[in-house]
């Protein structure tokens, strides 16, 4: 989310009741879109609908392994740029096969194997 708080609703429209509220930084996966409304779900599978203008445009992924190596190139023997802990949110930049190019403020940019993260950018 790119705003302080946003309502997650039971359906695609402001007439639908609010299911819950989320804070800025809530990480979601886009399921589908109906007009100005986006259906989202989180890592736990909980979902609902939110106005598209409230969503952050930069796609992200979340580290699901205990620790994940972010590498210089998209290959397992490439030097490690930095290590990301479980739960860290990384900015998604591009995909090359099963590797995702990501960045993290203060740590740099590199490649992480896709099975080490959650998210479908």
Mean pLDDT of all residues in 38-50? 93
Contact, 61 vs 98, CB < 8 A? Answer: no
Residue 74: count of CB within 10 angstroms of its CB:
18
Model confidence at 11, pLDDT cuts 50, 70, 90, reads: very high
Q: What is d(CA 38, CA 49) in angstroms, rounded to the nearest whole number? A: 6
Tokens of 117: 């993260």
pTM of the predicted model as reported, rounded to 2 decimal places: 0.81
* Res 66 pLDDT > 80: yes
Mean pLDDT, all residues of the chain:
93
- What are the counts of helices (DSSP H) followed by strands (DSSP E) for the chain? 0, 12
Q: List domains and CATH numbers for the chain.
A: 5-55 (2.30.30.40), 61-118 (2.30.30.40)
Query: Could you give the percent of the chain with pLDDT greater than 70?
Result: 98
Q: Residue 97 carries which DSSP code?
A: T
CA distance 73 to 34: 38
97 contacts 56 by C-beta, under 8 angstroms: no
Rounded Cα distance between 47 and 86, Å, is 22
The residues near 120 (Cβ < 8 Å, ≥ 6 apart) are 29, 30
């Amino acid at each position: 989310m790119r705003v302080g708080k946003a309502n997650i609703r039971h359906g695609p429209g402001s007439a639908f009741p609010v299911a819950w509220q989320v804070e800025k930084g809530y990480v979601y996966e886009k399921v589908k879109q109906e007009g100005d409304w986006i259906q989202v779900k989180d890592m736990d599978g909980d979902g609902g609908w939110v106005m598209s203008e409230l969503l952050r445009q930069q796609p992200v992924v979340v580290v699901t392994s205990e620790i994940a190596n972010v590498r210089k190139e998209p290959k397992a023997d490439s030097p490690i740029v930095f290590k990301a802990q479980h739960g860290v949110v990384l900015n998604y930049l591009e995909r090359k096969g099963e590797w995702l190019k990501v960045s993290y403020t203060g740590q740099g940019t590199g490649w992480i194997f896709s099975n080490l993260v959650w998210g479908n950018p």
